[in-house]
Amino acid sequence: MRNVGLQSQALPSCALLLSVVMGAAIVQVTTAAEPIWVTKIVREIPKNEAAMAVAHQQSKDASVQVSAGESLLLPEFAGQYEYRVTVDGKRTVQPVAYSRLGVLNFGMTLTPEDKAELPIISKRRILSRVQGNYISVQLRVQRDSTGGEAYLYHKPFAAVGAYGNEQQAQQFAALMEDTVREIRSIGLYVPSGQSINAETLRTLVGINKTKIVVENQSGGTPALQDHYEFLFVRLRMDGERPVLHTFGTTEYRQQLNYFVPYTAPRNPDECTIKSTIVFTAYTAAKQSPSAKAVRKVDLRPQVSLTMETANAFVNEQGFEGDALDNLTATLDAVIDGQLR
């Protein structure tokens, strides 16, 4: 896939498609009969750690924070937004209606040993934050405000939720901001040669970067390393109702997990992903954590399979390439129960 700089073309009565190719913006012209698709696409998916690190670093589409006091979620296309786009060399406004729907939620916990190491003065405050809040990762499903078919916006959103409060987003703490900053979209996956329409703008590819603890078998201080996993979201329509299906890889991208449907959790154990964390640094006063790492994660998948199984399925179907090359078909097969 080649890098393309920002280009703009003007043709009479044309709509625009905003897309992304290896991190570089490109504006393509579509036919007059098509709507304006305000989103970004990716034509290829990185397939190794180095390529994922580059894609993650180049992506400018980290999760957008939902401000404290706003609605935790926005269903029923209740949101309204106006994008400013260029048509025929002129700036114009493209209004959309959108829903902001939950994709997954992250809960956090600490081991008893790590709790014992917390600063005495601030321990209660730290534990209240860890045990009382979770991170809700969300996506915007949008359509032209006058109607039209639904498709995904490429940027994820993130809100802080309080267990037991399903209504309002809470205030972000610094370490939560660090977490959502590393959940980044690289675009909606549309393979080369596939046409652009609402149906093909419904598969998002994200990359989550975490700092993980690598235990030292000989004892001593554990090492920390950066770790990358995929987040995939598939939009399907149930009549007029959008439904998001969420997937994530684990085991260094060797395992594909189809998560349970999104619900507001009442405690960390009900989160899609529960991370056991350790604080690795504190502020100068040594009362507030300034860095953390993940010791382990607990998942709530409804289906879990190896990527080897997914690749074998794709091969049996006669598709060219592997499961990542045929991502939408692979995710649909899992959703429909054809791939287990």
Over the stretch 100-135, which tens digit does the pLDDT of each residue have? 999 999 999 999 999 999 999 999 999 999 999 999
Residue 73 is predicted with a pLDDT of: 97
Domain ranges of the chain: 48-79+96-190+198-310
Contact 70, 168 (CB under 8 A): yes
Contact 268, 134 (CB under 8 A): yes
**What letters, b where the CB count within 10 A reaches 16 and e where it falls short, cover 70-84?**
eebbbeebebeeeee
Over the stretch 131-165, which tens digit does the pLDDT of each residue have? 999 999 999 999 988 778 999 999 999 999 999 89
pLDDT band at 259 (very low <50, low <70, confident <90, very high): very high
pTM: 0.88
**In sequence order, which ranges of the chain are alpha helices (DSSP H)?**
49-58, 112-116, 123-132, 174-181, 307-316, 327-335
Residue 19 is predicted with a pLDDT of: 42
pLDDT band at 310 (very low <50, low <70, confident <90, very high): very high
Cβ-based neighbour number of residue 209 at 10 Å: 17
Give the three-class secondary structure for 197.
coil
Residue 38 is predicted with a pLDDT of: 85
Distance CA 62, CA 131 (A): 25
Residue 33 is predicted with a pLDDT of: 44
Task: Tell me whether residue 211 is exposed, middle or buried, using C-beta atoms within 10 angstroms of its C-beta: 0 to 12, 13 to 18, 19 or more.
Answer: middle
